[in-house]
Amino acid sequence: MTVVLGPNRYGKAETRVVRVTRDGEVHHLKDCTVGVSLSGDMREAHTVGDNAAVLPTDTQKNTVYAFAGEHGIGQIEDFALLLARHFTESQPTIHHARVQIEEHSWERQGPHSFVRSGTETRTCVVHHDRDGTSTVVSGLRDLVLLNTTGSEFHGFVRDEYTTLAPATDRVLATAVTARWRHAPRGAAPPDYGKSYEEARRSLLEAFAGTHSLSLQQTLYAMGSRVLAAREEICEVRLVLPNKHHFLVDLTPFGQANDDEVYHAADRPYGLIEGTVLHDDAPPAGFAWE
């Protein structure tokens, strides 16, 4: 039996970079965490410890800072593409680059004053091959949503272990992780900023506007709304934890609870995952993770 090296990659994780752009008295802020993973002709680095093909991870970190200084950081997708193309085009041993960026949101309070806005994080992952092929996946995580009504759950399978009562009116809450893959139909690259804003708006509108018979139904409605709104998006993947809210029994205190007081349970929770895509969407050609 022969032992061989399988798929592998290496890189620099969680490089935090903050870029301030000073436009007179008005300053603009970009706060990002960047992860780089490279793969290519790395067999001898693993098998005999020959590092001739290895671009140090410290160099990858320095490249992030240098590019932030030289080019600035506009849309995170464009910055990720810039980095990925650099690594594959400048190093003959690097055949594929994966760049992941999380953007931490700050809300303007004045010309040069900001406050960190919530837990929601904008994300992107770019894959770029040495042949010039790029794939861009945009998204967000920790978008916390809640409907106080308009949600049901009944007609489900019951067995000897089922204790859940059917619900015709319940609180529906989740913390959305959404990722969407771009497949531009024209020569011009997408406006990633506008695409993100409208995809996010579509998620919010679908969640608020869907009378939900299950969280699965809501997931499909959210993904479908994004695809209908943005022609450059061909596939949407959603992860929706069901943040359960249980009515509190107030009878020990001589009170009725007319669907007003709830306990928000953090675990265990239902976890609903799914993909919504165009039937002619081109194959991704990579692992989304």
pLDDT at 187: 67
Number of C-beta neighbours around residue 4 at 10 A: 6
pLDDT at 118: 85
Three-class SS of residue 67?
helix
User: Do residues 98 and 34 make contact, with C-beta atoms less than 8 angstroms apart?
Assistant: no
pLDDT at 282: 87
Strand-pair partners of 139: 123, 179
Distance CA(262)–CA(209), nearest Å, equals: 23
Model confidence pLDDT, tens digit, residues 37-82 = 999 999 999 999 999 999 999 999 999 999 999 999 999 999 999 9
Q: What is the mean pLDDT of residues 269-283?
A: 95
Distance CA(207)–CA(215), nearest Å, equals: 10
161 pLDDT more than 90: yes
163 pLDDT more than 70: yes
pLDDT above 70 as % of the chain? 98
User: Do residues 161 and 114 make contact, with C-beta atoms less than 8 angstroms apart?
Assistant: no
Active site residues: 12, 57, 244
State the DSSP code for 115: E
State the DSSP code for 176: E
Q: At what angle do helices 192-209 and 215-229 cross, to 10 degrees?
A: 140
Tell me the pLDDT band of 284, cut-offs 50, 70 and 90. Answer: confident
Tell me the pLDDT of the chain averaged across its residues: 95
User: In the chain, what are the domains?
Assistant: 9-132 (3.10.270.10), 142-282 (3.10.270.10)
289 pLDDT more than 90: no
Model confidence pLDDT, tens digit, residues 164-222 = 999 999 999 999 999 999 997 766 788 999 999 999 999 999 999 999 999 999 999 99
Contacts with 13 (C-beta within 8 Å, 6 or more apart), sequence order? 35, 36
Q: What is the mean pLDDT of residues 264-285?
A: 93
288 pLDDT more than 80: no
User: Do residues 81 and 113 make contact, with C-beta atoms less than 8 angstroms apart?
Assistant: no
Model confidence pLDDT, tens digit, residues 239-268 = 999 999 999 999 999 999 999 999 999 999
**pTM for the complete prediction?**
0.94
